[in-house]
């Protein structure tokens, strides 16, 4: 249940609790909240646990330079760390850091690993049950693993053959493809989810977790069929934060382990993971002639430059460029 926010005191006193409360008031995604907290704590520890209010731009520059020069973090990692401390000072503490003069990392961005279509289908075929269907959605719809396991029944539109991704990275909603080959497997999975939900209702449970204040705004929503997860966990469990017994969705880690097991059995010697399916979705669309803006929308990227990385993955082969060594 890593996507359920930890409870905070009604009147937070500790610095990090107040920082978390501020981010929730601004409706930042819980994953962003956790990431920012990790980087802020790293910043504080780097400076001998000094209080952030006693530090400023000089200390931020020193820490960010350390990340680049000593820890050799990637460009995007340093950017995330920068975003965390800028939010801390500008939004939470109300202080402008001015022009920062830190050393920028020179560790370039790597090209993403992708499956060939044959490899992707081999991995999916080596999986079973709900995990196989989750992997199929990652490859066929370009979903992140967290987006796939968090799908709600109302997010599946069979009539329009599309998926609505609502609980996405950065809380950005988008619409993406629903492959024709997954229509019947998804209908069967939803029937299973609804049957489990009815059993939970009969046992006196059946209230699913809702993000933000939706449960308070719509009291009947947690037990309504449309809000149930498409991929419910096989067992009910006690939420350690609220002590409420509920059925959550299948865990991201369980799906990751299933993919890793399939890769091991097939001896596919690539540094692949769940996210490789999403990368492969994008490269296959690009090879098929889909324009980059459409791919950007389907993936939910803010910046088209992020999507452009796939043009380098597809490379010269897709443009018909051949090596002179292969000339007859």
Q: From the candidates 169, 174, 236, 287, give the one annotated as an active-site residue.
A: 169
| Contact yes or no for 126/203 (Cβ under 8 A) | no
**Closest among 95, 97, 46 to 67, alpha carbons compared:** 46
Q: Which strands make up the sheet holding 174-177, listed edge to edge?
A: 156-157, 162-165, 174-177
Confirm whether 278 is a catalytic residue. yes
Confirm whether 301 is a catalytic residue. yes
CA separation for the pair 299, 86 (Å, rounded): 27
DSSP result, 40-57 = HHHHHHHTTT--GGG--H
Region class of 141: left (phi > 0), else alpha (psi between -120 and 50), else beta: alpha
Query: What stretch of H or E contains 175?
Result: strand 174-177
Maximum distance among all alpha carbons in the chain? Answer: 77
CA separation for the pair 205, 215 (Å, rounded): 15
CA separation for the pair 255, 259 (Å, rounded): 6
Tokens at residue 39, please? 């980087």
Q: From the candidates 20, 131, 278, 279, give the one annotated as an active-site residue.
A: 278
Q: From the candidates 174, 256, 275, 287, give the one annotated as an active-site residue.
A: 275
Confirm whether 275 is a catalytic residue. yes
Number of helices and strands in the chain (H, E) = 13, 5
3-class DSSP state of 165: strand
Q: From the candidates 20, 131, 144, 249, give the one annotated as an active-site residue.
A: 144
Q: What is the dihedral of CA 191, 197, 203, 209, to 10 degrees?
A: 170
Confirm whether 144 is a catalytic residue. yes
Confirm whether 27 is a catalytic residue. no
Backbone angles phi, psi at 246, to 5 degrees: -150, 165
Q: From the candidates 197, 246, 249, 301, give the one annotated as an active-site residue.
A: 301
Angle between helices 292-299 and 274-287 (to 10 degrees): 160
Confirm whether 287 is a catalytic residue. no
The catalytic residue positions are: 144, 169, 275, 278, 301, 310
């Amino acid at each position: 249940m890593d996507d359920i926010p930890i409870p905070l005191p009604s009147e937070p006193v500790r610095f990090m609790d107040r920082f978390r409360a501020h981010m929730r008031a601004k409706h930042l995604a819980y994953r962003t909240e956790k990431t920012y907290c990790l980087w802020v704590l790293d910043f504080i520890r780097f400076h001998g646990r000094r209080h952030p209010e006693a530090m400023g731009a000089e200390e931020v520059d020193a820490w960010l330079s350390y990340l680049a020069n000593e820890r050799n973090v990637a460009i995007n990692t340093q950017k995330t760390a920068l975003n965390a401390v800028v939010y801390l000072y500008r939004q939470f503490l109300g202080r402008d850091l001015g022009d920062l003069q830190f050393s920028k990392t020179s560790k370039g961005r790597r090209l993403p690993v992708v499956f060939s279509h044959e490899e992707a289908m081999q991995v999916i075929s080596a999986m079973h049950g709900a995990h196989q269907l989750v992997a199929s959605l990652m490859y066929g719809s370009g979903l992140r693993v967290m987006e796939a396991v968090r799908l709600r029944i109302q997010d599946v539109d069979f009539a329009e053959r599309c998926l609505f991704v609502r609980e996405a990275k950065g809380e950005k909603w988008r619409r993406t493809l629903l492959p024709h080959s997954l229509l019947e497997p998804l209908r069967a999975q939803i029937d299973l989810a609804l049957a489990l939900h009815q059993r939970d209702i009969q046992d006196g449970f059946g209230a699913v977790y809702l993000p933000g204040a939706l449960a308070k705004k719509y009291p009947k929503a947690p037990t309504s069929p449309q809000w149930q997860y498409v991929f419910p966990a096989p067992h009910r469990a006690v939420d350690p934060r609220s002590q409420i017994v509920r059925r959550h969705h299948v865990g991201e880690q369980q799906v990751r382990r299933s993919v890793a097991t399939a890769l091991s059995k097939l001896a596919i010697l690539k540094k692949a993971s769940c996210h490789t399916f999403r990368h492969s979705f994008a490269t296959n669309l690009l090879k098929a002639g889909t324009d980059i803006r459409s791919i950007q929308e389907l993936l939910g990227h803010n910046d088209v430059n992020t999507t452009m990385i796939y043009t380098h993955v597809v490379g010269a082969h897709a443009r018909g460029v051949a090596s002179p060594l292969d000339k007859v």
